[in-house]
Chain A
Amino acid sequence: MERNIMKRFSMPILVSGILLAASACSISDLVNTSPAPGTPDPDAAKTAAGAMDQYRGAITEFRAATSGYSTPAMYIVASALISDEMTSGEYPKEGNVSFSAASAFDSRNLLENERNGTIARGISDPWKGLQRTRITAMNSIAALRKYAPNAPKDYIGHAYALWGMAEVMLANLYCSGIPLTTIQFEGEYDYQPGSASADVYKHASDMFDSALVYAVDSLQFRYLAQVGKGWAQLNLNNYQAASAAVAGVPTSFVYYNRHSAVIPLSIGTPNFTTVLSINGGAVKLGFGTVSDNEGINGLPYRSSNDPRTASSLIPEWQDPEYPATEIWSPDRWTQNSPGNAPIALASGVEARLIEAEAQLKQGGAAWVSTLNDLRNSGFVTAPGSTDTTWNPGTGAALFEGNLPGLPSLTAPASMAEQVDMLFAERAYWLFLTGRRHSDMRRLIRQYGRTTNQVFPRGSYPTGPIRVYGMAVNASAPYAEVQHNPKYTGCINRDA
């Protein structure tokens, strides 16, 4: 009897028990944990506010990658060192048997697969920063679309513009062969092989086009995208397309990187001018001094007494043992408010210069008129405060303070001299904005100059080699070759 009862009921009870157990046992409930206080939040970007925070993260990454400080440099300073804008400022000490990273950039001794830790870091830091900008912008666009659909679309446009700017800068500073690696928002990363410089400029141009689709209301962001696209097209040898891209950008437009004088960015990169103003040692090793006719071919940034490249001798930074070594601090970003000086990353002045170059290519005298219009205008005024999207505040001029009007130029006879004049104007107007180095590469690539005609050369005062090297760009970081399985290094080291 007992057996029969159990037999009758055991199976239904068993099945019920299994179902009961299965319904109650939600494994994901059991192992669901929340981050401890202070732990970075994996879901931080998954709200409307979080998406906005990630968008601001892209802006911050861009600031850090361009005008942030690193040892020795992020994009603007690295670009200035490898070009003729700055020299490392290191003393020509006997027994100085190794390059600092700043001197390696400055002397163009940038070898492929560089394993010297200091120099390798100098090469990879701007690379990392610009790549982080790309990827954070990419992720912030996805986050804004998914979690902040009601936010102004201009933010998406802004992020696209920063994405494009970062790619233009990567192609400018480094050899051909830039891996445009991706990380999907809430997804996996995907290493990419190196893309040729031209392909990177084209991709950047596409990003600027996307920016213009979204940045409808914010003129600030539209102008940034326009100037960026113009810059990309210029590098692609498409002068008329470049000119068309910047059409309508007012000369008074300036896009600034903002930094605080007292709060270093939490990701560890304060404005380089902060370091410049407070630490002479860092200047010598990390930033350098304003050049003057560097390496035979360099422009006379100091001796020309051009107000656009004005600099100041800082006696207290001179080493008593080497009084001949002078440290010249650029007035442009440090004159008024060291540390929180806004750093211009794009401007209407550049738009006019792009138009001038297109005019030069077309022939005629319009190009010099365009240049003279700029020179005669004295100083560039700030944009208006009509752009409420970006909260532009009062804005500021490309040059803080009054810039006296400059005398008009007369177009020289030969094309070569005309090109020299145009590029010198670009160099002076766009001093320390990361344009000069790419211009020097363009002179070789697009205007038939040789490296020896453009880049600093000859003897170099310090380091183990004591002569300038042959590099016209930075090599790919060795770590990228080591750790990116799809990447094999520079496609070529040509300009």
Chain B
Amino acid sequence: MMRSFLKCCCCILTLLFLVQVDAQSQSVSLRTDEGQGGGVFTSKRPGKQIPVVDMILQDVPRDSALYAIAKLVGYGLVYSKQYVKLTGVVSARFNKTPLPEAVSTVLKGTDIISNISVTSKSILLAPRDTTKSAPVQAPKSPARVKGKVIDSITREGIEGATIEVATTGKQVITDADGQFYVGPIEAGNHLLVARRIGYSSKALKLDLSEDETDTITFVLGATSTVLTSVVTTGAGDRQKYQIGNSIATIDAKEVVESESIKNISDLLANRAPGLQVFKGSGSVGSPSRLRVRGISSINASNGPIIMMDGVRISGDYTQCKRPDYSGCTASPSRLDDIDPDIIESIEVLKGPAASTLFGSDAANGVIVIKTKRGAAGPTRWNLGFDQGITSQVRDYPFPMQRLGYAMSGGKPSTCGLLDEARGSCVPIDSTIGSNLLGNPLTTSLAKGRETSVNVDVSGGVSVLQYFISVGYVDQLGTSKLPDINNRLIRDAVGISKLPGWMVRPNKQKNTSGSARLTGQFNNNSDFSLGANFLKLSNSNGPDGMSGILMDVRGPSDSIRIVPGWETFYVQRSQDVTRALTSATVNWRPLTWLTGNAVYGWDFSSRDSRELNRRNSCLPLCDPSGQDAQGYVYSGKYSISVQSLNLGSTLNRPLKNGFGIRTAVGAQYVRTYANDLLAAASDLADGGTSVAQANGLTSSEEAGGELITVGLYLDQSISLNDRLFLGAAIRRDVSSALGSEVAPLYPKWSISWVASQEPFFPWKDLVSLRLRAAYGHAGVQPDADTKLRLLSRFSDFIDENGDPLGNYLSISSIGNSNLRPERSVEREAGFELGILNDRFLLDFTVFRKFTRDAIVNRPLAPSIDFGGNQAQNIGDVLNTGAEASLSMRLLELEPVTWNLNLGYGTRKNKLITLGPNVSPFSAGSGFEGDASRVVPGYPLFSRWARPIIGFDDVNGDGVIVPDEVRVSDSLQYIGPSTSKYDLSFLNTFGFMQDRIRITANFQYVNGLTQLNRFLSQNWQYLPIMQVPGGSLEEQAYLVASIKQGNPSDYGFYEKVDFFRFNSLGVGYTIPGEYTKRLRMSSATVSLLATNLGIWTNYNGRDPDVNTASAGGNEYFNGSAFPQPRTWTLRFNLAF
């Protein structure tokens, strides 16, 4: 397959090369023509007329006069204010005066000369002394200039800068690395001007020698961060100001250094408006789910795709199979495998308007990760060491139980209000209860800890740089076997110490290594090789609280095992080995033409195991039970993602301020997964594997291969480097859809840097860019969804009742007409920077309409094969707005304060579900009401049958289920995801930034949660045990057990919360001390997370969402809340 693709790509590249050769030949011919002209003030090209000027000037400032003349004849006026001082006033009368003469008249008496190019319609001004010998020199042999334009701060090349030879009008544009080449031009004195929007311009005077090539470097200082940043698109890196869509950029390096970041999910959370990070649990190694601009897909994936260093990698969390832990609450996310210490930056392409060129997988956005790379210079060592503690800080209800006597027999019994009302007991004035989680002997909560070490080294020379990083993370979760259980089990078994996996079941160790080598083959080509290796060992037991709150016991109760302990003797482990490699080659055959090839391979292998050893529960369990016999679930899963991207970009200026950029490319992505699952029971003594079990309970082998091939063309036109119009198209074919389905994804965009226009009044104070974009992108179905699948079984029974041969059964009906989901997005916005971007507002509104959403439509029983069929029948609308406001509020010598506010709001609505498709449930709850798919409402919204009344018919002060009236029909409660959220990221610097404090907060509004914690434990609340409580509250609780018509309406809560997410205090040790230790810098930091939450939610953590229905059911299950961490960190650099 790969060979076919390479063959095809070779042909495409051949074709591309031919086109380039063709283009080159035309270019050469043009150059030849121009060379024949060679004039300074006029062009002798046939057909080019020198304009004339009719104008009267009376005491007009000289610069205004020139602007007026240029405007009159439609020419551009080009000069450097640094070298060309247009002072004084002029008076003149022009009557059909040739333009050169008119300009000379205006410049009379100055040291400035003009160079008028009819070809480029420009008037170039330069100091006289730089060109004094040029016009009269005899023809010379040509000279050449090459060089680089770099950023004064980052020292990195600036792409897209214009280099203009002011004395000739010749222009070139720098390539992706900031390099340029000018030539051939006449030898002699020249003025070269480098300009790039967002930077101050710079000019250099050069005396060029014949037959020689000068090498120069322009160092430009940024004037606007808005206008200087570079972002990734599907067709390569672009200047951010050139594209019409919003892209959020996260400076990962800075965030990781100043905050407690354990994984990429931490890095992304609350830093990109429009991106939501749903944490699955507070357990170590729990997965997160990313959702960009809401939810669009009903049965297909809602997750963004992940690109790292230009290659596609696997980002999905694993499927919800037994070895991955039931409910997926603890399965490590594949995205979080990546060590955040190696990441330079992350960009979030939020929707189809931005991600069109990523094609059929990108409708839910793209997360673009760029890893660190070395820089030329001496070897630099960085050493980081973290030591932290974690704890659970949420309070838990105090469960209680009223006591009494049973009605029959008079034995002592529990006697809650419901028991009494039903007449099954007579209460006594006594209650018992305790919060087992608050008792050191019975609690299953413990202090966790985290240790991490990271070492990286980087350096190199100009042609070869390297970056190598090694990291190790050891995390221990906050669950433990209660001490009382520990003691009783040891006593019963007769051993002095229980195994560690039983006592502290939740832990994870990551070991990772990364290396990147970058360098140049020659001036025209460079390469980058990357390799990342990861070894992860995860152990994940129970969440430590199952059933504990239901265990009410009094002080006089005998010591006994805390409920839920039985889950502790089951060992769950998962080992992941992952390797990511990438290779990139960039080639610049011409200054305006680049080509690149990127190959990547991401392979991960996971070995999951759930093991209950034989007799490990004895003597505390039934010796004849299945638990005592032991069982093992074993899963082997591997996934490989291979990708190859080939692209070429043509970028060159045209006449009259126009420029074009054309990018073409091809992309090949192959994903192959293999999943083997076996379950076996009746383990031998000491047995730990399927092979050591007597009975193979089940085995399953699954997997799939998905290949996608895409071709794209991206064309943009610019005017004066201020207005950019772009149009692009991508065509895909994939194995999931068949070669006959080749979706086409178009896009267009416009970007206008209004503040750079001559008429903009406050250009020194304000930067303003307006932008709009429109684009399509898709989401593919799974590899086999389209196919009619037949399962073969080997147990056909013959006429004697014996197995004889195979038979086939249709297991899935397939849909040969299946297409990808198609999302169409429009977005518009602006970036407004004030006072050199001291206040920077980025605002975007979007409308994303997803049509042909893939719905697993239930089949009528008359064709029931597989239960349902994937069809393109849903339409979903997402609308919203995003804003970020960055403010450098204080920039004083002793203190600085930067505040970044993020805001994202979203509205989701299922427009239609197709004809004859009934609303359906996507998860659990009564009638699946916890998460339903209903046209006219948000996807996966909350529904319940409302309680329409209650009466204490017998006046006993207790509401029993029969006294509650529940509606027969479901009622919409609210969306399962938030309506809007706010983030507040503060950075304070003291003592010249030697002390740096970060404080991050988050506010979330409009979330509707199903309080599972309450639904599981309400019977033990005081209101159900002590007379005199609110009848209404009782009604809402007991409705959940109403016979025949239960309702969990009372467990839904509309939730807002404000969380103090993180605090970091860092101190950089003064240089005089670090130098003595031969360190270039040293920082010690105290970092904390989850310092407080203020919420109306009565459950555990409103921001923890488990998911089991394809990742699209959001509720607060039985998982741990997010813990609080305190971390001490040392960063040393040598």
Contact = CB atoms under 8 A, between A and B. Distances in A.
Interface in B1-20: 1, 4-5, 7-8, 10-12, 14-15, 18-19
B790 interface: yes
A260 interface: yes
B98 interface: no
B657 interface: no
A491 B19 CA distance: 69
B260 to A, nearest CB: 40
B704 A97 contact: no
A263 B862 contact: no
B858 A10 contact: no
B25 A35 contact: no
B706 A38 contact: no
Interface in B284-323: none
Nearest to A20: B11
Contact of A53 (B674, B797, B801, B806): B806
Contacts of B36: none
Interface-central residue, A20, A36, A192, by most chain B CB under 10 Å? A36
A7 B21 CA distance: 10
Interface in A171-185: 179-181, 183
Contacts of B860: 179, 181, 191, 479-480, 482-484, 487
Interface stretch (A39-47, A210-218, A298-306, A369-377): A39-47
A60 B795 CA distance: 10
B814 interface: yes
B739 A31 contact: yes
A413 interface: no
Given A33-B735, A57-B809, A60-B807, A40 B858 contact: no
Contact of B808 (A30, A53, A181, A395): A53
A50 to B, nearest CB: 7
B795 A14 contact: no
A10 B859 contact: no
A18 B795 contact: no
A414 interface: no
Interface in B692-715: 700-709
A351 to B, nearest CB: 21
B798 A30 contact: no
A390 B792 contact: no
Contacts of A191: 860, 862-863
A391 interface: yes
B25 A30 contact: no
A324 interface: no
B346 to A, nearest CB: 31
Interface string A456-495: 0000000000000000000001011011110100000000
B811 A40 contact: yes
Given A36-B703, A54-B790, A42 B814 contact: yes
A54 B808 contact: yes
Interface in A11-57: 13-14, 17-18, 20-21, 24-42, 44-45, 49-50, 52-54, 56-57
B812 interface: yes
Interface string B776-799: 000000011001111111011111
Chain B interface size band reads: 35 or more
A321 interface: no
Interface in B1008-1029: none
Interface string A116-155: 0000000010011001100110010000000000000000
B705 A34 contact: yes
A2 interface: yes
A100 to B, nearest CB: 14
Contacts of A265: 793, 795, 797
Contacts of B797: 60, 63, 258-260, 263, 265
Contacts of B857: 483
Contacts of B788: 42, 186
Interface-central residue, A180, A188, A395, by most chain B CB under 10 Å? A188
Contacts of B700: 38
Contact of B739 (A27, A37, A186): A27
A31 B807 contact: no
Given A24-B11, A41-B792, A265-B795, A36 B808 contact: no
A59 interface: yes
Contacts of A258: 797-801
Given A14-B19, A56-B808, A39 B863 contact: no
Contacts of B29: 2-3
A25 B11 contact: yes
A248 interface: no
Contact of B807 (A32, A59, A479, A484): A59
B1044 interface: yes
Contacts of A49: 806
Identify whether the interface residues of B are mostly helix, strand, loop, or mixed. mixed
Contacts of B706: 33
Interface in B848-897: 857-865
B795 A263 contact: yes
B597 interface: no
Contacts of B1044: 97-98
B138 interface: no
Chain A interface size band reads: 35 or more
A232 to B, nearest CB: 20
A132 B8 contact: no
Contacts of A439: none
A256 interface: yes
Contact of A392 (B799, B917, B1043): B799
Nearest to B703: A36
Contacts of B792: 40-41, 44, 53
A313 interface: no
Contacts of A128: 861, 864
Contacts of B727: none
A53 B807 contact: yes
Nearest to A55: B807
A416 interface: no
B742 interface: yes
Contact of B858 (A53, A54, A135, A482): A482
Given A131-B861, A183-B813, A50 B11 contact: no
A261 interface: yes
Nearest to A487: B860
Interface string A257-271: 011110101110000
Contacts of A3: 25, 28-29, 32
Contacts of A90: none
A189 interface: yes
A342 interface: yes
A394 B801 CA distance: 11
A250 interface: no
A67 B861 CA distance: 19
B733 A30 contact: yes
Contacts of B557: none
Nearest to B807: A56
Contacts of A28: 739
30 contacts: A3-B32, A14-B18, A21-B15, A25-B11, A27-B709, A27-B742, A32-B1, A33-B706, A33-B735, A36-B673, A40-B811, A42-B784, A44-B808, A45-B790, A60-B793, A61-B809, A63-B797, A127-B861, A128-B861, A181-B862, A258-B798, A260-B795, A260-B803, A267-B809, A340-B801, A395-B799, A480-B860, A482-B860, A483-B858, A483-B916
Rank and list the top 10 A-B pairs by shortest CB-CB distance, nearest first: A38-B701, A36-B703, A6-B25, A40-B789, A484-B860, A56-B807, A21-B11, A266-B793, A181-B862, A3-B29
Given A10-B21, A479-B861, 6 more contacts: A26-B8, A53-B805, A56-B807, A57-B809, A127-B861, A263-B797
Interface of A: 2-3, 6-7, 10, 13-14, 17-18, 20-21, 24-42, 44-45, 49-50, 52-54, 56-57, 59-61, 63, 97-98, 124, 127-128, 131-132, 135-136, 139, 179-181, 183, 186, 188-189, 191-192, 256, 258-261, 263, 265-267, 340, 342, 390-395, 477, 479-480, 482-485, 487
